[in-house]
Chain A
Amino acid sequence: MAEDAGQGTGWTPGSLPEVPGTAEWARMRERKNANSRAHLVDYIQSDGARGYFRELPAENGPGAVVHLVLRTVGRTTGRPYLTPLIYAPWADECLVVASKSGHPKHPAWYLNLAARPEVEWQVRDRRFRGTWRVAEGEERTAMWEFLCAYVKIFPRYQARTSRLLPIVVLTPSMRIEERWTVPEYAYVGLGAD
């Protein structure tokens, strides 16, 4: 079954207020971060047996959407950060959206990713290293059209911000055998927004 690792954190996808930056936003964001951390721990510990697919409320998604864990390296700290994200399958590539729920600023994972040519991610029990690109032009148009149909919450996030939400395309080039552990430290997107 689609489990909810974040149960009890009082957060559901789409429950953020429409206006970023308010006190209500900050409260919900905190809950979202707690949810993300619980999701991440569950995903990594179970090697994706739990947390790969989760059910979203009907107004936000198609039902069960799939997730990956992105591993970036802090552009200033040099420390690894793991972030659980909804992804959309695009043939053999994965699409992730740097939405930060429609916040005016880019998410930290996106800035960290942009600082290096390679990135790593885990899908279920498989870890990949590969390259990334930000979709542009006609390709972006086709992907955005698909993403809006695939996860209904994305157009809502886009409507909240003047940022054009970056669509990141992950292209795997090799598998990684070694397992990851969840960092102990708090970081942006997971408890320190």
Chain B
Amino acid sequence: MANEQEWQNAWKSLREEGPLTGPEHEARQETIRAMMSQRAAAFDEHVRNYLETDGRIGYIRDMTPSGGSETMLHLILRTIGRKTGRVILVPLTYAAWADEYILVASKGGYDKHPAWYLNMKARPTVEWQVLGKRFTGTWREVEGEERQRIWDYVSVYYKGYADYQSRTSRKLPIVVLTPTGTIEEKWAVPEEPLTP
């Protein structure tokens, strides 16, 4: 994503704009739609590269433009659309937690939960790929003391999370994935765009 920094800067100035009305509001909505579509295209490219190279491209990524470090680790989460029933693959930053995987449903501090989180919650099990390995397993959302302990870790791992949290009244959900088995069959790279 060559223009990640530009995208982040533009997104930041949009966030900082006050309320608009009439045509100005419409114009801004159009800009937001265009930006979200660019974002979807970047996710799409990330997933394709990851699956084609078993993560050699896309496992580790420089996330400094969005407040992370140069060395964030990534997995591909496979969910089923809760309305569409379609397979959805999303690239997500994860934090290692012994033999488990931590995800933060941050959506950049947006006020709504990310779609992957809502889709994941609709089923008791979930699948994900790390490098060339696919796992099936369970997920749990952590609370209380465990959440605090994990937050202390992930907010240092990805310093942008604190900023994301400050932007939204949502308490950012922290999800732990626990593998229970592996999946041998490779996932096909979808021909159509992965995200609408």
Interface residues of chain A, those whose CB is within 8 Å of chain B, are: 1-2, 48-49, 52-53, 55, 61-64, 66, 89-92, 123-126, 128, 142, 145-146, 149-150, 172
- Known A-B contacts A63-B69, A64-B153; A146 and B98 likewise in contact (beta carbons under 8 Å): no
User: Nearest chain B CB to A54's CB is how many angstroms away?
Assistant: 9
Q: Which residues of the partner chain A approach B114 to less than 8 Å between Cβ atoms?
A: none
Whether the pair A149, B60 counts as a contact (CB closer than 8 A) is: yes
Interface residues of chain B, those whose CB is within 8 Å of chain A, are: 56, 59-60, 69-73, 96-99, 130-133, 135, 149, 152-153, 156-157, 159, 179
26 A-B residue pairs with CB within 8 Å: A48-B98, A49-B149, A52-B153, A53-B156, A62-B69, A62-B72, A63-B71, A63-B156, A63-B159, A64-B69, A89-B96, A90-B131, A91-B130, A91-B131, A92-B179, A123-B98, A123-B99, A124-B97, A125-B98, A128-B99, A142-B56, A149-B60, A149-B70, A149-B71, A150-B71, A172-B99
Whether the pair B153, A146 counts as a contact (CB closer than 8 A) is: no
Q: Which residues of the partner chain A approach B156 to less than 8 Å between Cβ atoms?
A: 1-2, 53, 55, 63-64
Q: Which residues of the partner chain A approach B130 to less than 8 Å between Cβ atoms?
A: 91-92
* Complex alpha-carbon distance, A2 and B133, angstroms: 30
Could you say which of B60, B70, B132, B159 contacts A91, with CB atoms under 8 Å apart?
B132
* Complex alpha-carbon distance, A90 and B132, angstroms: 10
Could you say which of A53, A55, A62 contacts B70, with CB atoms under 8 Å apart?
A62
Determine the residue in chain A with the shortest Cβ distance to B135: A92
Q: Secondary structure at chain A's binding surface: helix, strand, loop or mixed?
A: mixed
Q: Which residues of the partner chain A approach B99 to less than 8 Å between Cβ atoms?
A: 92, 123, 126, 128, 172
Q: Which residues of the partner chain B approach A55 to less than 8 Å between Cβ atoms?
A: 156
Q: Which residues of the partner chain B approach A91 to less than 8 Å between Cβ atoms?
A: 130-133
**Additional A-B contact list (5), CB under 8 Å, known A92-B130, A149-B70:** A52-B153, A63-B69, A64-B153, A146-B60, A149-B71
Determine the residue in chain B with the shortest Cβ distance to A89: B96
Q: Which of B56, B71, B72 has the most CB of A within 10 A?
A: B71
Determine the residue in chain B with the shortest Cβ distance to A90: B131
Determine the residue in chain A with the shortest Cβ distance to B149: A49
* Complex alpha-carbon distance, A146 and B70, angstroms: 12
Q: Which of A53, A55, A66, A91 has the most CB of B within 10 A?
A: A91
* Complex alpha-carbon distance, A63 and B153, angstroms: 11
Whether the pair B59, A146 counts as a contact (CB closer than 8 A) is: yes
User: Nearest chain B CB to A41's CB is how many angstroms away?
Assistant: 20
* Complex alpha-carbon distance, A147 and B153, angstroms: 21
* Complex alpha-carbon distance, A123 and B100, angstroms: 11
Q: Which residues of the partner chain A approach B179 to less than 8 Å between Cβ atoms?
A: 92
* Complex alpha-carbon distance, A172 and B97, angstroms: 14
* Complex alpha-carbon distance, A2 and B157, angstroms: 9
User: Nearest chain A CB to B128's CB is how many angstroms away?
Assistant: 10
